[in-house]
Amino acid sequence: MPKLNPSQRMDDSGLDWLPWLVAALVVAHLLALIYWIYCLASERPAPRRKTH
């Protein structure tokens, strides 16, 4: 395995948080989707009124 010069090596130490941020956003959107589906499934129908 050839050694890379420090200038050729990718310096991603500043982007260590990026995968965690992406994972957190995905989880947040999945939870919001589940909550939205739960609210749609559990909403009560409006009471029907007799109009005559």
Q: Residue 25 is which amino acid?
A: L
What does the mean pLDDT of the chain come to? 82
Residues 38 and 25: their CA atoms lie apart, in Å, by 20
Residues 2 and 24: their CA atoms lie apart, in Å, by 36
pLDDT of residue 45: 79
pLDDT of residue 7: 54
Question: Model confidence at 39, in pLDDT bands (50, 70, 90)?
Answer: very high
